[in-house]
């Protein structure tokens, strides 16, 4: 009797019993291996017309049939009438205005009086095991003056109904062919105005089976969002109930049949929906997902079935609703950023995020997952916020639930299992299935984004309204500092007593999300430990194209196609490059490589090669390495290239001017040299001209110190004759036109001679 108990239902196959069907166990005697059961329905579940006398079975045989699948236990479905009180039955089925009992209670009490003495004076053991059943039935029938079959029928119904008095109620609720469509011979309902005026030919339209099908077709195909029931009714009448006129033009309005020869709009409403809540006009006129999101009944919460931290994470993206400024110039507006958050389902803890100017994609989503699984001390320190690892824990989840957006791609599906997780997706247009992360979006918008200058408040700008970007004053770096502070407050300080369990209250847990996370981890409610940092970086961080040169690894632009254009200010060097001599080998032949890193943080990248090796940014501008993102580097490089090309004309003109001045000065010097050489008289050989070069250089170094007049005169040179000014006067000009510098040089030359 391990699996068989009193009042249970057992379905026996035809091979096990001559009749087969579903039996209710009403008595058992294990000492003699006997089981008594009464048949309550046929094998297919249909009810029997008459409850026969209970049958006896071997307990061991029935248990053997259960093991061999020749029999099975059936769930007991209690009829609703058995659960109702007499007052409820009378209110539901009694006649209105009738002070007496309803017919159902009258018939039940009449049958109960027939078997009441048998039930109270005899046990099932006496009636079935000791053989008193037949004699007691006949004796009671003689007392009442009725047939024994009537007494046995009432007693069998009582036993089949688990000895419940309400099992004697007649099955009036099954009368009338419930659920069956009757054939309509005349117009149902009260007489209309035409019948009251004896115009019986306009009594109304009697629906046939094909009419019901046509009305249902019109309801399903014409009732749509933005279309009223009246319009759908007219389309249905035009399609199925129009006058047959072959001469009518195709572009003419159809001629409908007379109102009494076609269904009414009330019939269209009734037979279109057929009482199905999913086919009502309200449901069909809603846009896709509106009912599921705003009007459906909520049968649970988003936390149902999740008990451990790290078991399930919600992932979703949104905009930050704040216009930001460039890291290079506060006069340049760069627009709003995109934010992806990873949220623990049980505690609501924000485990990680990614925020940047790139649109949500596999790259940004995996960066957010990586941020959640990694230690965030260095991440916060970049923005000037000091924390310890316990203040923002690293969590790698077993399941990640997202919508059909940034994570629904092959790259994410292949990467997430690398850290021991799986991806799941909610149906389209069902954001309420991840309501926790949607609520966090609203919290961050309300508590931070919509308070900052330059906010859009999540709405489009109306006509005549000032553009919110005109008020923007924060850079990406400054905004991230504020966002991290708000997230730390949300995780570590905001109180959520509604998430406390009885065990937490007994242990005196302060109701913050971080405290509840720690308590669950310490008390065995943790799903899994996060993987190593190298594993997370190798599988989740975005791949950045780069090139290995003799000076280190340079990142490459991703918008230049096959052209290998370096990103200036993004040169990375690590110990692995020096120890393996990779930079020396790449001095002549540059090698394309791939590194992994965060596009929003270019202080370091990682080279995955026989392990994960860290490479540091060796940029000459440490502030740019700390604050600039990948997009900032591209923007600055593009701007520098544009300015360089715009400045080509000015630079060329300036070079031409400098060359012209140089050639004039050189020409004057050549003429002066020829004049002085001519004054010497005899021609000096070429060898003699360069023979005393060393002696001349020594004398030249001593000359300024030995000529005080020269030093005083050279300090008073007019600006017009300083280097870079207009050419000097010709060598043959008068003494009055010579500058002090030329006078000093002439005196020096005379001294040399």
pLDDT digits (tens, 9 = 90+) for 469-481: 999 999 999 999 9
pLDDT at 225 over 90: no
User: Rounded to an integer, what distance in angstroms lies between the CA atom of residue 595 and that of residue 602?
Assistant: 12
* pLDDT score recorded for residue 324: 94
Annotated domain spans of the chain: 9-74, 80-174, 193-285, 312-522, 545-646, 650-676+694-752
DSSP 126: I
Per-residue pLDDT of 684-723, as tens digits, reads 788 888 888 888 888 888 876 665 555 555 455 454 444 4
pLDDT of residue 728: 45
Q: Out of 189-193, 504-508, 544-548, which region has the weakest mean confidence (pLDDT)?
A: 189-193
For every residue of 556-590, which 3-state class applies, written as one string? ECCCCCCCCCEEEEEEEECHHHHHCCHHHHCCCCC
pLDDT at 90 over 80: yes
CB 620 within 8 A of CB 569: yes
Q: Are 616 and 573 in contact (CB under 8 A)?
A: yes
Looking at residue 47, its pLDDT comes to 81
d(CA 426, CA 402): 6
Give, in order, the Cα–Cα distances in Å from 349 to each of 310, 343, 512, 520, 581. Answer: 10, 6, 9, 13, 45
Q: For residue range 398-454, list pLDDT tens digits in order.
A: 999 998 888 999 999 999 998 889 999 988 777 777 889 999 999 999 999 999 999
**Residue 738 pLDDT grade (very low, low, confident, very high; cuts 50, 70, 90):** low
Closest CA to 158 of 73, 75, 77, 51: 51
Q: How far apart are CA 320 and CA 383, in angstroms?
A: 18
Please report the pLDDT score of residue 368 as a whole number: 94
Please check whether residue 593 is in contact with residue 548, taking contact to mean a CB–CB distance below 8 angstroms. Answer: yes
Nearest to 336 by CA among 365, 366, 358, 362: 358
Q: How many CA atoms lie within 13 A of 265 on its CB side?
A: 10
Banded pLDDT at 680 (limits 50, 70, 90): confident
- Is it the case that residue 381 has pLDDT exceeding 90? yes
Distance separating alpha carbons of residues 699 and 701, to the nearest angstrom: 5
Q: What is the pLDDT of residue 176?
A: 66
706-737 exposure pattern, b = at least 16 Cβ within 10 A, e = fewer = ebeebeebeeebeeeeeeeeeebeebeeeeee
- Specify the pLDDT at position 736: 47
CA 666 distance to own-chain centroid:
74
Region 152-164: mean pLDDT is 89
- What are the residues facing 571 on neighbouring strands? 554
pLDDT at 731: 45
- What are residue 609's phi and psi, to 5 degrees? -160, 105
Q: Is the pLDDT of residue 370 over 90?
A: yes
Strand order in the sheet with 350-356: 350-356, 338-344, 312-319, 399-402, 422-425
- Encoded tokens for 170: 């007649």
Could you tell me which residue, 128 or 176, shows the higher pLDDT?
A: 128
pLDDT number for residue 729: 47
The stretch 389-404 carries a mean pLDDT of 92
pLDDT confidence tier of residue 246, bands split at 50, 70 and 90: low
Whether the CB-CB separation of 481 and 462 falls below 8 Å is answered with no
**What is the chain's mean pLDDT, rounded?**
84
Report how many helices (DSSP H) and strands (DSSP E) the chain contains, helices first.
Answer: 29, 18
Q: What's the Cα-to-Cα distance from 686 to each of 666, 676, 689, 690, rounded to whole Å?
A: 21, 16, 5, 7
Candidate from 92-101, 493-502, 523-532 with smallest mean pLDDT: 92-101
Would the pLDDT of 646 be above 50? yes
Residue 319 pLDDT exceeds 70? yes
Of 266 and 18, the one with more pLDDT: 266
Q: Which residues contact 408 (CB under 8 A, 6 or more apart)?
A: 402, 425
Architecture of the structural domain at 312-522? 2-Layer Sandwich (3.30)
DSSP for 688-753 reads HHHHTHHHHHHHHHHHHHH-HHHHHHHTT--GGGSTTSSPPPPTTS-GGG--HHHHHHHHHHHHH-
Q: What is the DSSP string of 64-98?
A: HHHHTTSEEEE-----GGGG--HHHHHHHHSPTT-
Q: Is residue 166 within 8 Å of 109, Cβ to Cβ?
A: no
Q: Quote the DSSP letter at residue 294.
A: I
pLDDT in tens, 522-539: 998 988 777 888 899 999
Tokens representing residue 151 in the block: 């007494």
pLDDT at residue 343 is higher than 90: yes
Whether the pTM exceeds 0.85: the reply is: no
Predicted confidence at residue 314, as pLDDT, reads 93
How many CB atoms within 10 Å of residue 694?
8
Residue 740 pLDDT level (bands cut at 50, 70, 90):
low
């Amino acid at each position: 009797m391990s699996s068989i108990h009193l009042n249970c239902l057992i379905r026996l196959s035809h091979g096990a019993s001559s009749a087969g069907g579903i039996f209710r166990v009403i008595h058992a005697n294990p000492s003699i291996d006997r089981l008594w059961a009464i048949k309550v329905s046929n094998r297919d579940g249909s009810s029997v017309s008459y409850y026969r006398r209970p049958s006896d079975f071997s307990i061991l045989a029935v248990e053997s049939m259960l093991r061999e699948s020749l029999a099975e236990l059936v769930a007991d479905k209690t009829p609703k009438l058995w659960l109702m009180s007499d007052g409820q039955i009378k209110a539901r089925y009694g006649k209105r205005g009738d002070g007496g009992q309803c017919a159902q209670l009258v018939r039940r009490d009449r049958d109960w009086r027939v078997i009441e003495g048998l039930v109270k004076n005899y046990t099932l053991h006496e009636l079935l095991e000791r053989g008193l059943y037949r004699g007691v039935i006949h004796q009671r029938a003689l007392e009442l003056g009725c047939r024994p079959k009537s007494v046995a029928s009432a007693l069998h119904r009582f036993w089949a109904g688990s000895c419940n008095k309400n099992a004697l109620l007649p099955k009036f609720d099954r009368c009338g062919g419930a659920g069956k469509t009757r054939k309509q011979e005349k117009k149902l309902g009260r007489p209309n105005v035409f019948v009251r005026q004896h115009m019986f030919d306009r009594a109304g339209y009697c629906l046939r089976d094909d009419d019901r099908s046509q009305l249902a077709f019109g309801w399903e195909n014409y009732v749509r969002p933005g279309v009223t029931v009246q319009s759908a009714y007219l389309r249905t009448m035009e399609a199925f109930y129009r006058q047959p006129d072959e001469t009518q033009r195709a572009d003419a309005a159809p001629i409908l049949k007379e109102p009494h020869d076609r269904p009414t709009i009330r019939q269209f409403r009734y037979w279109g929906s057929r009482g199905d809540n999913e086919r009502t006009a309200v449901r069909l006129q809603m846009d896709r997902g509106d009912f599921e999101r705003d009007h459906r009944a909520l049968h649970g919460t988003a936390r149902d079935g999740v008990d451990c931290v790290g078991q399930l994470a919600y992932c979703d993206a949104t905009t930050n609703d704040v216009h930001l400024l460039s890291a290079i110039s506060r006069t340049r507006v760069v627009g709003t950023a995109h934010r992806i958050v990873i949220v623990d389902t049980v505690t609501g803890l924000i485990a990680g995020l990614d925020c940047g100017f790139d649109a949500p994609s596999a790259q940004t989503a995996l960066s957010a997952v990586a941020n959640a699984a990694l230690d965030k001390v260095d991440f916060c320190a970049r923005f000037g916020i000091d924390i310890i690892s316990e203040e923002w824990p690293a969590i790698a989840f077993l399941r990640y639930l997202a919508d059909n957006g940034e994570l629904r791609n092959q790259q994410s599906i292949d990467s997430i299992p690398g850290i021991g997780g799986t991806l799941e997706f909610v149906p389209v247009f069902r954001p309420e299935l991840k309501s926790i992360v949607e609520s966090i979006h609203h919290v961050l918008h309300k508590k931070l984004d919509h308070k900052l200058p330059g906010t859009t408040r999540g709405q489009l700008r109306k006509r005549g309204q000032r553009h919110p970007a005109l008020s923007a004053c924060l850079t990406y770096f400054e905004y991230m500092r504020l966002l991290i502070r708000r997230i730390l407050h949300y995780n570590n300080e905001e109180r959520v007593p509604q998430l406390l369990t009885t065990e937490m209250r007994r242990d005196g847990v302060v109701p913050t999300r971080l405290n509840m996370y720690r308590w669950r981890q310490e008390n065995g409610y943790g799903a899994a430990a996060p993987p190593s940092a190298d594993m997370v970086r190798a599988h989740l961080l975005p791949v950045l194209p780069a090139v290995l040169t003799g000076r280190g690894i340079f990142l490459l632009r991703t918008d230049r196609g096959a052209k290998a254009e370096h990103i200036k200010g993004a040169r990375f060097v690590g110990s692995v490059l020096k120890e393996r001599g990779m930079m020396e080998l790449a001095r002549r032949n540059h090698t394309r490589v791939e590194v992994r890193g965060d596009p929003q943080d270019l202080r370091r990248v990682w080279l995955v090669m026989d392990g994960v090796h860290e490479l540091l940014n060796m940029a000459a501008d440490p502030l740019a390495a700390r604050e600039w993102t990948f997009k900032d580097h591209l923007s600055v490089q593009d701007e520098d290239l544009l300015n360089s090309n715009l400045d080509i004309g000015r630079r060329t003109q300036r070079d031409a001017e400098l060359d012209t001045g140089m050639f004039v000065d050189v020409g004057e010097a050549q003429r002066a040299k020829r004049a002085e050489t001519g004054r010497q008289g005899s021609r000096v050989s070429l060898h003699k001209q360069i023979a005393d070069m060393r002696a001349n250089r020594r004398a030249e170094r001593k000359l300024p110190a030995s000529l005080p007049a020269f030093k005083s005169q050279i300090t008073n040179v007019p600006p017009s004759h300083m280097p870079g000014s207009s050419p000097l006067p010709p060598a043959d000009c008068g003494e009055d036109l010579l500058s002090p510098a030329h006078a000093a040089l002439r005196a020096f030359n005379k001294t040399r001679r």
